[in-house]
């Protein structure tokens, strides 16, 4: 029997039945990584899948079938592309095109802290202007036939929670279907502790789904976030990219079927098993990046993946070096195979807080 965890409130009108999803990450949550992670999704599970953030001023004129950020595989379900924007016309055009492309919902980025986003008054800048943020949701919902969600950050400490609640209530009143809270402030960027207490407080104060994000490094962390905060779903970024089999581990823990092709196997759990699985994932990613992006861009994507995720490996720097030195995909493949021809242990946690 399946154990129920999270999903107290329906996401994608109840289609989603699995309480873990990948976070949107520029340069990482492309089709190749989504494919690698999806291989570990239990076969009876349905969850949501991000794109990288997409600028609504560019989407209307882009060839979505060819642009690296919007390449997709035909079998991909649950796609929720993320847009960045604040003007109705480009948003309306982007939403229309993304729905034709296959979006099952549209996510609005209100968490990006980079200077460019602040300059254009989108991303986390919208959190400084609650009325306008609500307006951006309203204009997106008005132009969308699928649900619209928002990914946001903490406003400040738990003491300033009322401010966050007012902000989220504005989004809710404008038609947002759910929110994802990454409870670090813009100033924290991705450092410092994610304040799960704010996820808990937000979930208990509103009547629509809340997804929690931040500081999930292992399947135990995902379970703890879901149980401690009561949120509907846990979202993991860097760690789920590094250990995509977290999907399988959680599926096993909750009584879901094994992923396709892994019916008689058990999810990797020990540091040695996880280290070996990282190697398999990386080889698969190299193959898919070459297939989707070609040699040059493919190599850049793999290098960025390794820089971000090898922090859980004791010899992560050496692996980064192997990928940096390779002159082409064949060399990269060979170097990675050689690296993993000896066992490597993967650590459960690393310090992402500096």
Q: Which is nearer to ligand FMN, 229 or 335 (CB)?
A: 229
Which range touches ligand FMN (CB under 6 A), out of 7-15, 22-30, 69-77, 290-298? Answer: 22-30
Stretch of residues binding ligand FMN (CB under 6 A), selected from 55-63, 71-79, 235-243, 339-347: 235-243
CA distances from 91 to 96, 102, 121, 132, 334 (A): 9, 16, 14, 14, 44
Query: Of 7, 26, 283, 348, which lies in the binding site for ligand FMN, with binding defined by CB under 6 A?
Result: 26
By CB under 6 A, residue 237 contacts ligand FMN: yes
Q: Which is nearer to ligand FMN, 5 or 258 (CB)?
A: 5
| CA atoms of 121 and 260, how far apart (whole Å) | 44
Binds ligand FMN (CB under 6 A): choice among 34, 72, 138, 151: 151
Assign 63 to helix, strand or coil: coil
DSSP 257: P
Place of tokens 């990948």: 22
Q: 338 with 266: CB under 8 angstroms? A: no
Question: Can you tell me which of 19, 24, 90, 251 binds ligand FMN, judged by CB under 6 A?
Answer: 24
Binds ligand FMN by CB under 6 A, chosen from 238, 243, 301, 344: 238
148 touching ligand FMN, by CB under 6 A:
no
Binding to ligand FMN by residue 250, rule CB under 6 A?
no
First to last CA, the chain: 41
Binding of ligand FMN at residue 28 (CB under 6 A)? yes
User: Per CB under 6 A, does 53 bind ligand FMN?
Assistant: yes
* Residue 158 per-residue DSSP state: G
CB nearer ligand FMN, residue 52 or residue 345: 52
Contacts of 50 (CB under 8 A, 6+ apart): 21, 22, 23, 24, 25, 29, 80, 81, 82, 107
Asked if 243 interacts with ligand FMN (CB under 6 A), we say no
């Amino acid at each position: 029997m399946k154990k129920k965890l999270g999903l107290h409130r329906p996401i994608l009108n109840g289609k989603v039945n699995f309480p873990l999803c990948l976070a949107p990450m520029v340069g990482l949550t492309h089709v190749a990584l989504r494919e690698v992670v999806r291989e570990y999704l239990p076969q009876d599970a349905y969850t949501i899948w991000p794109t990288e953030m997409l600028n609504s001023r560019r989407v209307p004129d882009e060839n979505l079938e060819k642009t690296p950020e919007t390449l997709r595989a035909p079998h991909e379900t649950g796609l929720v592309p993320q847009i960045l924007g604040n003007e109705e016309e480009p948003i309306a055009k982007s939403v229309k095109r993304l729905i034709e492309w296959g979006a099952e919902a549209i996510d609005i980025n209100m968490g990006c802290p980079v200077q460019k986003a602040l300059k254009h008054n989108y991303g986390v800048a919208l959190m400084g202007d609650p009325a306008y943020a609500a307006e951006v949701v309203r204009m997106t919902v008005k132009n969308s036939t699928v649900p619209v969600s928002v990914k946001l950050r903490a406003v400040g400490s738990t003491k300033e929670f009322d401010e966050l609640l007012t902000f989220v209530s504005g989004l809710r009143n404008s038609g947002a279907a759910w929110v994802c809270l990454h409870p670090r402030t813009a100033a924290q960027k991705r450092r410092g502790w994610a304040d799960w207490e704010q996820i808990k407080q937000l979930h208990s104060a509103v009547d629509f789904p809340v997804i929690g994000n931040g500081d999930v490094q292992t399947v135990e962390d995902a379970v703890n976030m879901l149980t401690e905060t009561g949120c509907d779903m846990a979202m993991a970024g860097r760690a789920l990219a590094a250990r995509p089999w977290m999907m399988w581990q959680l599926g096993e823990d909750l009584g879901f079927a094994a992923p396709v092709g892994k019916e008689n196997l058990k999810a990797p759990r020990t540091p040695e098993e996880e280290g070996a699985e990282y190697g398999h994932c990386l080889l698969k990613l190299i193959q898919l990046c070459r297939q989707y992006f070609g040699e040059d861009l493919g190599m850049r994507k793999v290098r960025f993946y390794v820089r971000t995720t090898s922090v859980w490996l004791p010899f992560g720097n050496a692996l980064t070096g192997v990928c940096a030195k390779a002159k082409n995909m064949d060399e990269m493949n060979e170097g990675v195979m050689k690296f993993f021809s000896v066992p490597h242990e993967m650590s459960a946690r690393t310090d992402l807080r500096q």
